[in-house]
Structure 1
Amino acid sequence: MKIAIVGAGVAGVTTAYELARHGHAVTVFERRASAAEETSFAPGAVRGLGPLAPWALPGSMGVPRALGSSASVQAGRASSLAELRWLWQWQGAARKALRSGEPTPAMRALAQLSQWSQHCYLDTTEALGLELEHSRGALLLLRDDRTAAPLRQAVQALRNAGAPLHELDAAAARKLEPGLAENTDFALALHLPQAEAGNCRQYSVLLRQAAQRLGAEFAFQTEITAIRSASSGTKLQVRGEAEPRRFDAAVLCSGADALSLLAPLGVRTGMVALWGYSLTAPLREGAPAPQGSVLDVARQVSLARLGQRIRVSGGAELGGTGEAQHPKALHALYEALDIWFPGSVRRGAGLQIWRGARAIRAGGLPLLGASGVPGLWLNLAHGDSGWSLASGCARLLVQQLGGRESALSPAEMAHFAPTS
């Protein structure tokens, strides 16, 4: 088939690679000058957390508040009614999930998807011999049993999906991460030995090259302004071109930017853009630093080692536009770094601050599969987990598009279907 992909972030690149690997003629359209220049440029580095990832699912980390603590959603003056409605729905779903006392169907589906995606990612990196910045293992640090309570359902969902996960006391956790500040107290930790951190943009660029070797074409600085279904396939209108380009099918992988393309087609996604932040800094030689990844559950901030650098990420901001930065979100990143690994980084030359919009639904799960519009497929709304879920979502989409049996059950796949 002749297939178009809109968006060359990690979702679009992995989808292109999987489609090209199965013999399809693929063209990727990207408005930026290269792959992974927007949401996939410097997101949170940790993968394999499933429903335990920050902002993964309502209820997995408690009930977020608006304009509250450093772990709250920052709802600014520019927030639209749709964004405030999304926040109300997320909070309601979180309360409902916590009242259930058991892993919700969404938690089980995301845990299975996370495990499948980790398998696909490792399969791809080994097959291509990719050498990436990475570190193994993740610790989720908890103040006490009370703060651990909201995580119990997500923990059980991950264990049911086959993920090894261990509860450790503070002493055992410090043996795994000896660089943790001695004067910072925590009661217990959750250890995920198979979780890992990696460089999303580095992976995206290398996988783009692998897709090109298989025949995929990438059209950079090329913006798609409209998509139309036609009897002979799908038409994509490129900005500045008089006639649309025809394809047998198209896959939208453009995150929150997909909303403007889907609205004229009547496809409702329930997505909003939830802005997040990261800072990446070189480590001081000999300074205490993480060996793998550490997640500050109270602040919902992750600290991950990437070679001789550390990436600190977090924040959840509604209504953000342009290059504006919310000082409260950035403060939470610096605060977590100073609390857990004080003096670990150089804050002058080499410090990089990133801000990006993550498309997310009120239920937290991605959109994956047929859109309801003939010839148009979706791989969207990965929230804060796009880097973690990209490989699995791409392979599942190719299975669906080719009419093959899915690696996940029909009941699990139903959670990722769009409403129409």
Structure 2
Amino acid sequence: MKVVVMGAGVIGVTTAYYLAKQGAEVVVIDRQSGPGLETSYANAGQLSYGMTSPWAAPGIPMKAMKWMFMKRRPLFIWPLISPTMWAWCARMVGNCNAESYRVNKGRMVRISSYSRDVMPELIAETGITYDGRERGTLQLFRTAKQMEASKADQDVLAEYGSPFEVLDRGGCIAAEPALAEVQGKFVGGLRLTADRTGDCRMFTIGLTEKCIEMGVTFKYGETIRAVSVENGRIAGVDTEAGERVTGDAYVCAMGSYAVRTLNPIGVRLPVYPVKGYSVTLPVIDDDYAPQSTIMDETHKVAITRLGDRIRVAGQAEIAGYSNRLGPHAVDTVKHVIDDLFPRGGDVSQAEGWTGLRPMTPDGTPVLGGTQYDNLFLNTGHGTLGWTMACGSGRAVADLVLCKTPEISMEGLTAERYAR
């Protein structure tokens, strides 16, 4: 079987790998000059198995209102004249209740747990390196109120079997010794012990090289103009270069741009781009640098150690498909690294970046089939594409090859949005 994969980010490449591993002939198309150059390029670096949760949660609308008045607020919403944007926001608010949160959380955990279990096998098979560490994630609380509110998360973690530790100030310092320098700025934390860290783009590049060794063809610099339909099936992918790439089956792994590509053929997905920011800076003193990932609960910013670098990422900006990196865009993430690890990294050498996270209003990605029997989806992962990549890539590859995935696909497909 020949399969055409649209998108060479971490989702598309992992899907290509699992397809090729099972004997498929695979072609990957991407508009960029290489793999992992969009949302996979400089994300937070967290493999957040324990922190897998939908953004749409009880109390979020009220919190969002308060965030809008913070000096260094984690959320920006631009008042665009966009019915699509406001409809997506309304659907997200509609999921901010206890019952929807429980259902959506369960679906997301199902994928991330599967990804956690299959990723070590992929690493053993390929031998790729990606500055990976297995030291957990520390959710850092600056106030007693945040510490108290985390009890609800602890109940959910216990329900789904995600290991965690509740730490006082001393426990946080034991996990991240450099925090001793700023111990007056926090009261405690919640440590997710099964979480990992690693450079998503480094992983994507390494896996791409293995895919090429397995016979996968990568077509870079080819923007998709249209998906062609004939006789009720996908007949090919037309590029702006005038080429038509054909196959027996097609997988759309284009993140936020899946919507623009598939809308013309009637595949309607409530996936919207939510912009995030990051900076990457060199470590200047290991004794004062983070050792794994710290999530600052106040600013919703993650600080992650990647080899001899520190990645600081966060914020959520709802502003359509804008990729603009303005002069003050990364002020908040720079503030957090300076505030918590002032002697660990050189902020003057920080490289800023922005990317579009493909978010669904319920937080769960959209996987599996469509109304076309040879078109499959692997998109809508939001901030958790790196976390869910191996699991969703393997499950979708199984579906394409007419095999039963090892996890239930109930609630994970586009069918949940059918009216």
Name the counterpart of 2:242. 241
Give yes or no for the alignment of 1:24 onto 2:24.
yes
SS in 2 for 1:184: helix
Residue 373 of structure 1 and its aligned partner are, at CA, apart by 2.3
Name the counterpart of 1:354. 353
Quick check: 330-339 or 80-89, which moved more?
Answer: 80-89
Residue 28 of structure 1 and its aligned partner are, at CA, apart by 0.3
Residue 417 of structure 1 and its aligned partner are, at CA, apart by 5.2
2:110 to 109, 112, 119: 112
Provide the C-alpha distance between the structure 1 equivalents of 2:267 and 2:201, rounded to a whole number of angstroms.
30
Name the counterpart of 1:267. 267
Unaligned runs of 5+ in 2: none
Provide the C-alpha distance between the structure 2 equivalents of 1:417 and 1:50, rounded to a whole number of angstroms.
25
User: With structure 1 as the length reference, what TM-score do the two structures score?
Assistant: 0.90
SS in 2 for 1:315: strand
Name the counterpart of 2:386. 387
Residue 34 of structure 1 and its aligned partner are, at CA, apart by 0.4
Q: Deviations over 1:69-120 (max 9, x none)?
A: 34442112446232133223323422x13xx5x9601111211211111112
Provide the C-alpha distance between the structure 2 equivalents of 1:60 and 1:293, rounded to a whole number of angstroms.
25
2:84 to 82, 85, 108: 82
How is 1:125-274 mapped onto 2 (pairs within 5 angstroms)? 125-135=123-133, 136-144=135-143, 146-148=145-147, 151-180=150-179, 181-231=181-231, 234-241=235-242, 244-274=244-274
Name the counterpart of 2:56. 58
Name the counterpart of 2:93. 91
Name the counterpart of 1:305. 305
Residue 134 of structure 1 and its aligned partner are, at CA, apart by 2.2
Residue 311 of structure 1 and its aligned partner are, at CA, apart by 0.3
Which stretches of structure 1, 4 residues or longer, exceed 6 Å deviation after superposition? none
Name the counterpart of 1:334. 334
Letter of the structure 2 residue corresponding to residue 34 of structure 1: G
* Identity fraction in percent: 26
Q: Deviations over 1:273-301 (max 9, x none)?
A: 10001100001135511111100112111
Residue 352 of structure 1 and its aligned partner are, at CA, apart by 1.3
Question: Against the structure 1 CA distance between its residues 38 and 224, is the aligned structure 2 distance closer, same or farther, given a 3 Å change threshold?
Answer: same
SS in 1 for 2:246: strand
Provide the C-alpha distance between the structure 1 equivalents of 2:78 and 2:234, rounded to a whole number of angstroms.
42
SS in 2 for 1:15: helix
Q: Deviations over 1:147-183 (max 9, x none)?
A: 2465545444443333211211121111111101334
Quick check: 390-399 or 335-344, which moved more?
Answer: 335-344
Question: Against the structure 1 CA distance between its residues 218 and 286, is the aligned structure 2 distance closer, same or farther, given a 3 Å change threshold?
Answer: closer
Q: Deviations over 1:293-336 (max 9, x none)?
A: 10011211100001111000001111155552356652220121
Name the counterpart of 2:10. 10
Letter of the structure 2 residue corresponding to residue 129 of structure 1: G
Name the counterpart of 1:373. 372
The answer to whether the Cα contact below 8 Å between 2:3 and 2:250 also exists between their aligned partners in 1 is yes
The answer to whether the Cα contact below 8 Å between 1:52 and 1:60 also exists between their aligned partners in 2 is no
Letter of the structure 2 residue corresponding to residue 143 of structure 1: R
Residue 392 of structure 1 and its aligned partner are, at CA, apart by 0.6
Provide the C-alpha distance between the structure 2 equivalents of 1:160 and 1:406, rounded to a whole number of angstroms.
24
Provide the C-alpha distance between the structure 2 equivalents of 1:150 and 1:265, rounded to a whole number of angstroms.
45
Provide the C-alpha distance between the structure 2 equivalents of 1:104 and 1:353, rounded to a whole number of angstroms.
35
Name the counterpart of 2:401. 402
Residue 146 of structure 1 and its aligned partner are, at CA, apart by 3.2
Question: Against the structure 1 CA distance between its residues 397 and 238, is the aligned structure 2 distance closer, same or farther, given a 3 Å change threshold?
Answer: same
Letter of the structure 1 residue corresponding to residue 92 of structure 2: W
Paired residues, number? 412
Provide the C-alpha distance between the structure 1 equivalents of 2:404 and 2:257, rounded to a whole number of angstroms.
30
Provide the C-alpha distance between the structure 1 equivalents of 2:165 and 2:80, rounded to a whole number of angstroms.
42
Question: Against the structure 1 CA distance between its residues 160 and 341, is the aligned structure 2 distance closer, same or farther, given a 3 Å change threshold?
Answer: same
Quick check: 388-397 or 319-328, which moved more?
Answer: 319-328
Provide the C-alpha distance between the structure 1 equivalents of 2:416 and 2:212, rounded to a whole number of angstroms.
30
The answer to whether the Cα contact below 8 Å between 2:141 and 2:188 also exists between their aligned partners in 1 is yes
The answer to whether the Cα contact below 8 Å between 1:229 and 1:374 also exists between their aligned partners in 2 is no
Provide the C-alpha distance between the structure 1 equivalents of 2:80 and 2:161, rounded to a whole number of angstroms.
42
Q: Give the alignment's Cα RMSD to 1 decimal.
A: 2.4
Provide the C-alpha distance between the structure 2 equivalents of 1:120 and 1:46, rounded to a whole number of angstroms.
17
SS in 1 for 2:95: helix
Provide the C-alpha distance between the structure 2 equivalents of 1:311 and 1:286, rounded to a whole number of angstroms.
14
Letter of the structure 1 residue corresponding to residue 237 of structure 2: L
Provide the C-alpha distance between the structure 2 equivalents of 1:204 and 1:79, rounded to a whole number of angstroms.
36
Quick check: 196-205 or 159-168, which moved more?
Answer: 159-168
Question: Against the structure 1 CA distance between its residues 219 and 82, is the aligned structure 2 distance closer, same or farther, given a 3 Å change threshold?
Answer: same
User: With structure 2 as the length reference, what TM-score do the two structures score?
Assistant: 0.91
Question: Against the structure 1 CA distance between its residues 290 and 61, is the aligned structure 2 distance closer, same or farther, given a 3 Å change threshold?
Answer: farther
SS in 2 for 1:106: helix
